[in-house]
């Protein structure tokens, strides 16, 4: 067996072992890099470590460190609580507020598990309190994260855009972000329509004219099927939190970072790290608390996968795969196959890892120019992220874990069916909208 086939088998083994035995995929990827590079390809340690993505490492650490400080000093909690209090008890708006918050937090650099972990406890308690479908609320959170993560400073956006740029593939970070946001927003709108119609056509606990009182919640009305006597203070949303100096400075810093990234070519990693240090000087305790909360697991995962993929490129595996796929002789079929693989694997494994591995493997196909590389990157990104609400993914699991105990089994089953359906629907939809027309 050739070293190219062995390296592909090792990559498959990394995903399988990580999924079955719950071993960290980043660690497995580094081990695979060592075993394949040194043991099979007879390369030196210096040669295999040359593929370590130092620039990407700085970006991920800088952005997640800044976000961790924002969480530690209360800025993120202020955003969440303020957003919920601004709806003034309009229950129909709660799912959309959660979608917007998830997209915003993901868009400014929160890793998907962190964004879901911040929002899910409040969101699922609101769903339980006011009779909102847990399925709807959970999907609004998961799709909100998918909508925001492909921003130029979102985790998924950083990965995809960095891989495309480093391999000379034409891409459009803004178009990628807008496309993913719009598709996820439209999906959420359709979900609201379908789930509410299935609930009998009634609006969420009374609709737009119903408001939440300070202590008693919505007034029970005939036709409501779920009215729970839980005080609003149970979800800590009765009073808008105060604006402190640390919160104001952090929010201003986040706005400055977005502006700098949008208007200059400065590296986002160093910009975020600089802002994090400034905030750390202002709030040393928050900085100390934030340091261990940097998304080390995600950073470890991404740099491990990217290092191994770099080895695959050195061994000629990427070209080997491209030549094998090219025998299909149908660019559209190849594009669809790549999207299906992304959706199926991502439903059971890490979306972050899939994006880090599959985009480089598709580079020769993208460079061939038979389909638009921009459209293909968007389709691949959507295919791999829309399935994230599966209960086998971190986002889906966090949603289930934060649901009311009596809702968990049913929600688990619903999200499982949703995940299976999206393995088929997501790649077909993304391929049909972005690749098939030949934009």
- Arithmetic mean of pLDDT over the chain: 84
For residue 202, CA distances in Å to 96, 133, 328, 330 come to: 17, 12, 50, 48
pLDDT tier at 149 (50, 70, 90 boundaries)?
A: very high
pLDDT reading at 187 higher than 70: yes
Percentages helix, strand, coil for the chain, rounded to the nearest 5? 75, 0, 25
pLDDT reading at 146 higher than 90: yes
Distance CA 267, CA 275 (A): 13
Cα angle 160-165-166, degrees, rounded to a multiple of 5: 100
Is-contact 165 171, C-beta < 8 A?
yes
Is-contact 218 227, C-beta < 8 A?
yes
Domain boundaries of the chain, sorted by first residue: 3-202+238-435
pLDDT tier at 3 (50, 70, 90 boundaries)?
A: very high
Look at residue 213 in the predicted model and tell me its pLDDT: 43
pLDDT tier at 207 (50, 70, 90 boundaries)?
A: very low
Q: pLDDT per residue over 44-94, tens digit each?
A: 999 999 989 898 899 888 888 998 898 899 888 888 888 777 777 678 889
**Burial class of residue 45 (count of CB atoms within 10 Å of its CB; 0-12, 13-18, 19+):** exposed
For residue 218, CA distances in Å to 61, 87, 95, 348, 406 come to: 44, 14, 16, 39, 22
pLDDT reading at 7 higher than 60: yes
Q: Judge if pTM exceeds 0.85.
A: no
Q: Mind giving me the DSSP string for 153-201?
A: TSHHHHHHHHHHHHTT----HHHHHHHHHHHHHHHHHHHHHHHHHHTTS
N-terminal to C-terminal alpha carbon distance within the chain: 40
The one-character DSSP state at 324 is: H
Look at residue 240 in the predicted model and tell me its pLDDT: 60
Q: pLDDT per residue over 377-421, tens digit each?
A: 999 999 999 998 888 777 888 898 888 888 888 998 899 899 889
174-178, 302-306, 425-429: least confident range? 302-306
């Amino acid at each position: 067996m050739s070293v190219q086939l062995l390296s592909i088998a090792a990559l498959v083994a990394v995903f399988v072992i990580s999924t079955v035995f719950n071993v960290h995929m980043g660690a497995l990827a580094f081990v695979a890099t060592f075993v394949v590079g040194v043991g099979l390809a007879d390369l030196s340690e210096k040669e295999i470590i040359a593929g370590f993505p130092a620039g990407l490492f700085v970006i991920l650490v800088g952005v997640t460190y800044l976000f961790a400080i924002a969480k530690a000093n209360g800025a993120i909690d202020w955003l969440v609580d303020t957003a919920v209090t601004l709806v003034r008890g309009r229950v129909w708006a709660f799912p959309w507020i959660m979608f917007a918050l998830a997209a915003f937090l993901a868009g400014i650099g929160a890793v998907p598990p962190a964004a879901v972990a911040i929002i899910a406890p409040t969101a699922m308690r609101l769903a339980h309190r006011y009779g909102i479908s847990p399925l709807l609320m959970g999907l609004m959170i998961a799709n909100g994260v998918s909508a925001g993560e492909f921003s130029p400073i979102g985790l998924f956006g950083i990965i995809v855009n960095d891989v495309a740029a480093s391999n000379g593939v034409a891409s459009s970070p803004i178009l990628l972000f807008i496309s993913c946001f719009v598709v996820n927003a439209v999906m959420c709108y359709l979900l609201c329509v379908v789930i509410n119609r299935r609930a009998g056509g009634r609006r969420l606990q009374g609709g737009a004219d119903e408001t939440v009182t300070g202590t008693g919640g919505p007034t029970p009305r005939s036709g409501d099927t779920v009215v729970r006597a839980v005080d609003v203070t149970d979800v800590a949303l009765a009073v808008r939190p105060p604006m402190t100096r640390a919160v104001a400075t952090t929010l201003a810093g986040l706005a400055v970072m977005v502006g700098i990234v949008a208007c200059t070519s400065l590296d986002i990693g160093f910009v975020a790290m600089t802002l994090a240090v400034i905030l750390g000087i202002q709030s040393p305790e928050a900085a100390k608390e934030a340091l261990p909360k940097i998304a080390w697991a995600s950073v470890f995962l991404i740099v491990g996968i990217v290092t191994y993929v770099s080895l695959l490129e050195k061994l000629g595996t990427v070209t080997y795969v491209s030549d094998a796929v090219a025998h299909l002789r149908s660019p559209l079929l190849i594009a669809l196959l790549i999207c299906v693989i992304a959706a199926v694997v991502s439903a059971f494994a890490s979306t972050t890892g899939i994006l880090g591995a599959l985009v480089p493997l598709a580079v020769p196909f993208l460079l061939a120019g038979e389909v638009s590389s921009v459209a293909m990157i968007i389709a691949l990104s959507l295919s791999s992220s829309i399935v994230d609400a599966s209960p086998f993914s971190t986002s889906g699991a966090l949603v289930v874990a934060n649901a009311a105990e009596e809702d968990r089994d049913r929600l688990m089953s619903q999200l499982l069916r949703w995940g299976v359906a999206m393995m088929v629907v997501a790649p077909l939809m993304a391929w049909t909208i972005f690749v098939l027309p030949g934009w």
